[in-house]
Amino acid sequence: MDISVIGGGYMGLVTSVGLAELGNTVTVIDLNESKVAMINSAQAPFFEPGLHELLQKHVGSSLFASTTFEDVADSEISFICVDTPADETGHVNLTKVKSSACSIGLALQGLETFHTVVIKSTVPPGTTESVIIPLILGKSKRNFSTLGFSANPEFLREGQAVADFMHPDRIVIGVSDGRAEEILTRMYCKIDAPILTTSIKSAEMAKHVSNAFLATKISFANEVGNICKNLEIDVYDVMRCVGSDHRISPNFLSAGVGFGGSCLPKDLKALIHLAEALGEEPFLLHAVKKVNEKQPERIYRLLERKLGKLKNKRIAVLGLAFKPNTDDIRGSPAIPVIQSLDAKGATVIAYDPLAVENMRGVFPRIKYAKHPLEALTGADACVLLTEWPEFECLDSEFDAMQTRIVIEGRKILLCKNKEGVCW
Ligand SMILES: NC(=O)c1ccc[n+]([C@@H]2O[C@H](COP(=O)([O-])OP(=O)(O)OC[C@H]3O[C@@H](n4cnc5c(N)ncnc54)[C@H](O)[C@@H]3O)[C@@H](O)[C@H]2O)c1
């Protein structure tokens, strides 16, 4: 199939290479000129395992990038994959989704061939039907006889996004009619996963609920971890016993400094906002959010307990990305940790294998190291915030510190003489 993907970011570009790998011809449409130029020269604009290789394989033959919407007219399907940020209250900003819908509508004007528009961006339930479809129908001056619509939320995880796209647990498609369902089912037929067909609104809701549930598991593990630490019980031992129950599963029960990223915190906030707009009181969701926001504070409290006042103390921060195998720092717990260390007058020297340049945009004035040893040398304490595999075997490097105080926000170190944030 000929497919247009609007938005060449973390989700859209992975979707694009995945669709090209499935045998389709894909045009990525992004307003960011430098991103488009990089894609067209088969360079990944961000790090994601496997992305570079698939760009090298498909760019120029079955994958192209453009800053204009012209190619939408020649494609059978267009996917909207632009960002949908939420503000502090959880209100989702739909400006970019709306603008994409208008541009798609204009590109489809005057054409007769059937076209399916798929919303892959995470949007609040009801958005596709009440906002996106009317915009596309209005701008294209066409009707449902030649246009199909679908909400097809994406569940991939950064750091393993390509593999997740090709081998998902399930594919959820909310559809407007049988024709859109048939086209999407055909498009996904090479992926070996159940296709769950539902209404557009249910598909939109399923994405928010999935992320809220995952967030709930993490906050639950963190709260249990905080209790366990007081009792000198290892929460990882406890969760190994708890997660072996198939009704619970071991996934997302790793206690630590809290969840981050561009999706879990945003989608949780959006669901809270939606519930409150409906007059509901989402007690549980609020608690999940609060536990997560409080968890990074435990890092500096532990440091204060060990070092006293943090003013002029040199603190090595290992790990800035919100998770390993990505350079993405959006929502990373490293941000509130560094913010509070900085506010308390500590000197922060940070290291991450991939995310330093992104973090420099947030904290231009702190110091950055080129390797863990440089960050650790002379440090009064170290906090480890991302479970990068390269940190696992650190041990003698900690001897270069002024004092060997090592706090883990993620359980990864194999060495002795360290303390976990909640274990
Ligand atoms: N990142 C993930 O792991 C992930 C996973 C599942 C779902 N999602 C959802 O996918 C959506 C996109 O997230 P992301 O992380 O890829 O965002 P992103 O910020 O990495 O990428 C968005 C891209 O869209 C482009 N863009 C914005 N407005 C545009 C327009 N009008 N026309 C063309 N291009 C435009 C931007 O230039 C940018 O390259 C969000 O709704 C997010 O919640 C993301």
Secondary structure of 88-146 in HEC code, one letter for each residue:
CCCCECCHHHHHHHHHHHHHHCCCCCCEEEEECCCCCCCHHHHHHHHHHHHHHCCCCCC
Domain assignment of residue 103, yes or no: yes
* Ligand 1 shell residues, CB under 6 Å: 6-12, 29-32, 35, 81-84, 96, 99-100, 121-122, 154, 156, 158, 262-263
Residue at which a domain ends, from 294, 321, 351:
294
pLDDT of 214: 98
Q: Which residue minimizes the CA distance to atom 25 of ligand 1?
A: 7
> Last residue of a domain, which of 274, 294, 314?
294
271 and 382 both lie in a single domain = no
On whether residue 188 sits in a domain, the answer given is yes
* pLDDT value for 393: 97
173 within domain boundaries: yes
CA 262–ligand 1 middle distance (angstroms): 10
Q: Is 189 in the active site?
A: no
Same domain as 103, residue 66: yes
Ligand 1 centroid to 100 CA: how many Å?
Answer: 11
17 and 45 Cβ atoms separated by less than 8 Å: no
Determine the 3-state secondary structure of 260 from DSSP.
Answer: coil
> Both 28 and 170 in a single domain?
yes
pLDDT score recorded for residue 176: 86
From the CA of 327, how far away is ligand 1's center (Å)? 15
- Taking the centre of ligand 1 as the mean of its atom positions, its distance from the CA of residue 198, in whole angstroms, is 24
Same-domain pairing of 280 and 301: no
126 inside domain: yes
Cα–Cα distance between 145 and 150 in angstroms, integer?
15
CATH of the domain at 236: 3.40.50.720
User: What is the whole-number distance in angstroms between the Cα of residue 119 and the centre of ligand 1?
Assistant: 11
13 contacts 58 by C-beta, under 8 angstroms: no
Same domain? 15 vs 87: yes
C-alpha distances in Å from residue 374, one per residue of 286, 390, 401: 40, 15, 10
Task: Look at the block and give the residue holding tokens 């809270």.
Answer: 272
Question: How many structural domains are present in the chain?
Answer: 3
Q: Identify whether residues 287 and 376 lie together within a single domain.
A: no
User: How do the pLDDT tens digits run along the chain, 423 residues long?
Assistant: 999 999 999 999 999 999 999 999 999 999 999 999 999 999 999 999 999 999 999 999 999 999 999 999 999 999 999 999 999 999 999 999 999 999 999 999 999 999 999 999 999 999 999 999 999 999 999 999 999 999 999 999 999 999 999 999 999 999 989 999 999 999 999 999 999 999 999 999 999 999 999 999 999 999 999 999 999 999 999 999 999 999 999 999 999 999 999 999 999 999 999 999 999 999 999 999 999 999 999 999 999 999 999 999 999 999 999 999 999 999 999 999 999 999 999 999 999 999 999 999 999 999 999 999 999 999 999 999 999 999 999 999 999 999 999 999 999 999 999 999 999
User: Which among 4, 5, 6, 11 is the best mutation to test ligand 1's pocket, defined by most ligand atoms within 8 Å of the CB?
Assistant: 11
Q: Domain boundary at 294, 325, 355, which?
A: 294
What is the per-residue pLDDT for 305? Answer: 96
Q: Is residue 399 part of a domain?
A: yes
Flag whether 19 is in a domain: yes
> What backbone torsions phi and psi does residue 92 show, to the nearest 5 degrees?
-90, 130
343 exposure class (CB count in 10 Å sphere: 0-12, 13-18, 19+): exposed
Q: Which of 62, 244, 50, 333 is nearest to 166 (CA)?
A: 50
Residue 137 burial (C-beta neighbours within 10 Å; 0-12, 13-18, 19+): middle
Residue 379 covered by a domain: yes
Mark whether 189 and 238 lie in a shared domain: no
DSSP summary character for residue 7: -
> Do 46 and 76 share a domain, yes or no?
yes
- Say yes or no: 7 and 96 in one domain: yes
Q: Within this chain, do residues 135 and 269 fall inside the same structural domain, yes or no?
A: no
> Which atom of ligand 1 is found nearest the CA of 11?
16
**Do residue 290 and residue 302 come from a single domain?**
no
Mutation choice for ligand 1 from 68, 158, 262, 264, CB with most ligand atoms inside 8 A: 262
- 325, two tokens: 């195998």
Q: How far apart are CA 221 and CA 208, in angstroms?
A: 20
- Residues spanned by the domain of 287: 208-294
In degrees, to the nearest 5, what angle opens at C-alpha 283 toward C-alphas 198 and 170?
25
Do 215 and 174 lie in one domain? The reply is no
How is residue 291 written in tokens? 């536990």
Q: Which atom of ligand 1 is nearest to the CA of 7?
A: 24
Domain-located, residue 203: no
Q: Cα–Cα distance between 92 and 342 in angstroms, integer?
A: 30
